[in-house]
Structure 1
Amino acid sequence: MGTNRTSLQAGYTRLVCCTGWNYTMNFLRHIRKFSLPLTVSHRLLISSAASASKQLERDCWSCLKRISCQTFFCECGKVQSFSPSWNYFDYFGFTKPTMRIDLNELSRMKRKLQMAFHPDKFARSTKEEREIATTVSTQINDAFTVLSNPITRAEYILTLNGNPCSSEDVAITDTAFLTDVLEANEHVDELAEMVKTEECKQTLERVLAALYAIVMTRWGREMDQLTRFIDAANWEAAHQAISRLRYYERLKKRLQDLRPDFATRGIRTPFNGRGVDCDSSLG
Structure 2
Amino acid sequence: MSRVDIAELVAIRSRRPEAVAEAALRRRRRPALLGPSGRLMIIAADHPARGSLAVGERGLAMANRLDLLERLCLALSRPGVDGVLATADILDDLLLLGALDDKIVVGSMNRGGLAGASFELDDRFTGHRAQDLHRLGFDAGKLLLRIDYQDAGSLDTLHSTARTVDEMAERRLPVFIEPFICHRVGGIVRNDLSAEAVIRSIAIASGLAGTSAYTWLKVPVTEDPGDMARVMETSTLPAVVLGGEIGGDQHGAYEKWRGALRLPTVRGLVVGRSLLYPVDGDVAGAVDTAVGLLQG
| TM-score range normalised by the length of the shorter chain | under 0.3
- The structure with the largest helix share of the pair is 1
- The structure with the largest strand share of the pair is 2
Structure whose CA Rg is larger: 1
